[in-house]
Structure formats: structure tokens, C-alpha cells
Amino acid sequence: MAEIGNDKKREIAEDMYIRLGLTGREIAENLGVTEQTVSRWKKGREGEKSWDDRKTEAQLTPLKIKELLLKEAEKLAKGEESLVKADQLSKIMAAIDQLDKKINVRTVMDVFREFDIWMSEQEPATAIQFTRWHKLFLQYRVSLEA
């Protein structure tokens, strides 16, 4: 398996923090880096927003997009002038739908995390074994995307 570069690890770590809500320690353990490294990454590079700011935005953005698209769809349904043309609205909705259907490392990570929590409630010893394999599989998938 190819070694995962620091930039890719940083990207995955950010996703683990923002989407999954993992702690710095959990991220460090999963990616084989130090907590200090994760802490430095969380602050963001110069000119970038911190992960905390991005997390807040990520939680609000999908809702804002849906609200905007719904308002524009309602205008079109009433025969009113819309900022977004019907054809554009249709294409945007199709693109969003396509993105929702794509299975990527983030989606796999979400499913594995939910499964691991469930399995730990059923059989903790088995959950530990699965978690190890899940981590290896995620590293494999990341190496394919690198």
C-alpha cells in the first residue's frame, strides 16, 4: 500500500473533525500523526479559516442552499421571475443529486463509524477487530485517490 502524504492526511483529518466530530486525539490515532500536528492543522494555514469556522459554515451551507433553491422553485411555480432559470435550477438539482449518490472515502468513513459504534454495543471484542480492518480499508481507499 502506498504511503499517504501529509497533505492528504490533513485533508482527511479536517473531514474527520468537521463531518464526524472526532477529537484531535482520535484523529491523530486514526492517521498516525501526533495530537500537536492535528492541533496545528486545526488552526489553518495562513489566510485560511480555522477548522472550527469551517465546521460552522459546513453545518449552515446545505440548509442555505436548500432554502434558496426552494424559494426560486416557488417563484417559478407561481410564474414569477426567478434569479435562477428553470433549466439552470434543474441542472443544479441534478448535480447535487449526483454528488449525493457518489460513494467516496468520506461516505465510507461515515458508514464505518456508525457500524463500529453499533458493533461495540453488540460485541465489543468483535468491534475492535472490525475497527482495525476498517482503518486499513480507509487507508487503502485514500491511497487510491492520492
Q: Is residue 44 part of a domain?
A: no
Residue 2 clears pLDDT 90, i.e. is over it: no
The arithmetic mean of pLDDT across residues 126-140, rounded, is 88
Torsions phi, psi for 50 (to 5 deg): -70, 165
Q: Is residue 90 part of a domain?
A: yes
Number of domains in the chain: 1
The arithmetic mean of pLDDT across residues 92-108, rounded, is 70
Grid coordinates of 112: 464505518
The arithmetic mean of pLDDT across residues 12-39, rounded, is 90
Out of 49-63, 96-110, 127-141, which region has the weakest mean confidence (pLDDT)? 96-110
* Residue-level pLDDT at 1: 46
* Residue-level pLDDT at 10: 92
Q: Is residue 114 part of a domain?
A: no
On whether the CB atoms of residues 84 and 92 are closer than 8 A, the answer is: yes
Expressed as residue numbers, the domain containing 88 is: 59-101
Task: Give residues with Cβ within 8 angstroms of 84, minimum separation 6.
Answer: 69, 72, 92
Half-sphere exposure of 57 (CA within 13 A, CB side): 6
pLDDT in tens, 27-54: 998 888 999 999 999 998 889 999 998 8
Q: Is residue 95 part of a domain?
A: yes
Q: How far apart are CA 33 and CA 13, in angstroms?
A: 10
